[in-house]
Structure 1
Amino acid sequence: MNSRVLKTKISLMNALLDLMSEKKYESITVRDIVQKAGINRSTFYLHFLDKEDLKEQNSNFILDKLREAIQYPSFNFEEAIRDYEERQQPISSLLAIFRHIQEYFEFYSVMLGEKEFQQKLDEMIKEELFKFSIDKIRCAYNAGGLIGLIRYWVSSDMEKSPEHMAKWVTQVILYPNASQLNE
């Protein structure tokens, strides 16, 4: 994709997010989106079928980026304990997840309120966690906890750093019976 096309798509996606933070999605029109983005309506239709397609493509793009963060680097329990105990390093994929959320803060602050996106996020995280564990109940529990923590972090305007959040979750994963976690 050339840089001009990418810039146009990003502009349209950002316009939709801005509008969604101002009013209900149902009341947003393609006209509103193109006016906000400063782009011709015909240009919009070169890239998207309608506002639903724009929202869907935007969500898929962000979820693909989150999937990459979860997958890389891969998790190894023994290495994670060693890294944490020797260097106070959080699990690297957790750090990648929280940095991703920080990078796309505006998207998550709007879309975490959308039921359809929440369901897609939950399914994707469970699917990725299932690669590390065959216990579906544990995957569902961990996905719910992670989504709840992400929702809390975003709603608190990311008061804590991605490093702090990743370190906290690392402590919970590596030392689930610890009576006190470092704040």
Structure 2
Amino acid sequence: MSKSSRKEETRKNLLDAFWSLYIEKPIEKITVRDITDLAGYNRGTFYTYFSDVYEVLEIQKAALMPTEDMLIDPLKELRNNDGKIQESINGVSEYLKDHGERIAILLGPGGDPKFTHELKARVRGIIMNFVRELNIRETEEYEYLIEYHVSGMINMYQLWVENESNISEETLKQLYERISHEGSLSIANRMLNDRI
């Protein structure tokens, strides 16, 4: 194994050890010694890669941020497909399959309260850069639309995790798509009038 491969493996092992601890307890209770003991390294090795446990958390959060393509592709599809999105929704599903557990922990009650804001700010920033390039008329209003949409998606996912996935992932995806296409008030009205 090359020296660079060993360094990358060591770094990954430290990140994984941190995450194993973060699942169990708040960051304030995680020490460098906890991480290095779990990963099988000494404290000096930790400081070769990171300044403190908070830097490790920031690295973990950065790795979970959605890519620009994942955010822009649905908008391109929306414009080119008469207001319908299908393929890019599948990209979001893949993203959640790959990162959902970690995102759920960060968004949950024991997670990082800043993560929701950071996630929304990244999504909003990327989308708004794209929108500004299009020179649409209602740029300021579009930013509020994005905030509403992203907040709803995040909150739906949080509730799904809190409810221990009491509906299937496919049902959640379909509900999200229905709300996006038909509007929440229209769906709420239909559900309120569809009695047993």
- TM-score category by the smaller chain? 0.7 to 0.9
CA contact 1:66–1:100 (8 Å) conserved in 2? no
Q: Which residue of 1 aligns with 2:126?
A: 128
Distance, in Å, in 1 between the alignment partners of 2:162 and 2:143 is 28
* Rg larger in structure: 2
Structure 1 match to 2:11: 9
CA deviations over 1:55-85 (Å, ceiling 9, x no partner) = 111111211x454432346532254458x6x
Q: CA deviation at 1:100?
A: 1.3
Taking a change above 3 Å as real, the CA distance of residues 147 and 39 of structure 1, as seen in their structure-2 partners, is same
Residue number in structure 2 paired with 1:118 = 116
- Alignment RMSD (CA, Å): 2.9
Normalising by the residue count of structure 2, what TM-score does the alignment of the two structures yield?
0.72
Partner of 1:75: helix, strand, or coil? helix
Give % identity: 22
What 5-or-longer segments of structure 2 have no aligned partner? Answer: 192-196
The two structures have a TM-score, normalised by structure 1, of 0.76
Deviating beyond 6 angstroms after TM superposition, the runs of 4 or more aligned structure 1 residues are none
Q: How many residues align?
A: 173
| 1:144 corresponds to 2:151 | yes
Change in 2 beyond 3 A, CA 1:44/1:119? same
> Which residue does 1:87 correspond to in 2?
none
Rounded Cα–Cα distance in structure 2 between residues aligned with 1:41 and 1:109:
29
Q: Higher RCO, 1 or 2 (CA under 8 Å, sep at least 6)?
A: 1
Q: Which runs of 5+ in 1 are unaligned?
A: 85-89
